[in-house]
Structure 1
Amino acid sequence: MTNKKRTILKCAMIGVGAALGVIVLSLQISIQLYQGELKLSINELKNDLDVAQNDIYILSNDIKSMQEDSLRTTLDSVQETDYQDLTSTREFEALVNATFRIETGHGTSSLWLNSNNAGGIKCGVEYCEYQTPQDGMNDLRTLLQSYVERFGYDLKAIRDLYCQCGYGDLETFTEIYNNELGGGYE
C-alpha cells in the first residue's frame, strides 16, 4: 500500500473515530437529559401523590364528621321523653346511646338500617324487626331500663347479661359510654 493510501486510510479511520465519539457523546448527553426529565417527572408525581393523600385525609375527616352528625341526628330523633325519671338521667341516655353505637356500628349496621333494630335485640332465636327507628329505640330503652333497675349502672354486669362479649367489649363500651356521658362523640 502506498503512503498516500495509508494517509487516506488513517484520515478515514480518524474521521470514523471522531464521528463515533460525537455519536457516543450525543447519546450520553441525551441520556443525562432524559434522566433529568425523568427525575422531574418522579418529583412531580410524588408531589401529586402528597396532594392526593392530603385530600384523602381531609375527605375521611369530613366523612367521619358527617357520620357523627348523622348518628347524633338519629339518636336525637329517636329519644323518647315520656319514660320515668330513671330514663331521663344523663347516665341512662349515655347507656342507651353507647349501646346503640356499639351494637349498630355507629348506626351503620344492616340490622339497624333494614330492620330498625337498635341493639341486636332478638325475638326468640331471630333478630327483632321494628316498623320504625323509634320502635327499635323504645325497645332498646325498655330492655336497658330493666337492666338498670337490676344492676344500677354496673356496666360490666349490664354488658355481661346483654351480650357476653368479653373484656374487649366492656373496655370499648366503657370508652363510648364515658364519651357519651361527657357530651363528646368518638
Structure 2
Amino acid sequence: MAKTVKQIIDEVKSDALTLLDAKRELMKLQAIEKGVPAGVRGVYYLIMAVIGLTALFFLQVVIALLFAMIFASDLWGAYETVSSMAAGFGCLVGLFLLIELILLLLRKSIIGAVEEKIITKQLDQLEEQEHEEAGEARRETATVTMVADVTDVHGESVIPGTEREDHPVVEVHQYREEDDLRDQ
C-alpha cells in the first residue's frame, strides 16, 4: 500500500514538531544546567563582598578610634571610652572576618548544596508542567462513544447492534478530575 503525498507530508510535519519539542526541552535543561550554577556563584560572591566591605568599614572605624586614643587627653576620662569603643569595633571586625573565613572554607559544600536544591526544584517544576500538559491533552481527547437507547414507533426498545444500523451515536466528553488524581 503506497502512501500518498499528504500522508508523507503529515508524517514529516509530525516528526518536525516532535523534534522541535525535544529541542525545546533540551534547551530548557541546558539553561538550568548552566544558569543555576552561575546564579548561585554570583549570589555567593555578592554575599562575600557585602560582608567583606562591612568588615572593611568597621576596620576603618577602629583605626579612627585608635587615632583618637592617641590624641585623647585623660582630662575627661575620654581615653577609656575611646579605647573600649575601639575594642568593641575590633571585636565586630573579627566576627565579620571569622564569618568570611567560614564561608570561604565551606564554599564548595555551600554552593553545591544550593545548586542541587535549585536544580531539583526546577526539574520538579518541569515534570509537573509536563504532567499538566499531558492531562490537558488527555482531557481534549477523552471522549466516549455512547449509543442512545431508542424506542421505535411500536414502543419496543431498540437494542444497539441488532437489526438496525442507523441508531443515533452521541459523542460525550467523558473526563473527571479524579482521573488525574488517580494517575498521580
TM-score of the alignment, normalized to the shorter chain, above 0.5 = no
Give the alignment's TM-score, normalised by structure 2: 0.41
Going by fraction, where is strand more abundant, 1 or 2? Answer: 2
Give the alignment's TM-score, normalised by structure 1: 0.41
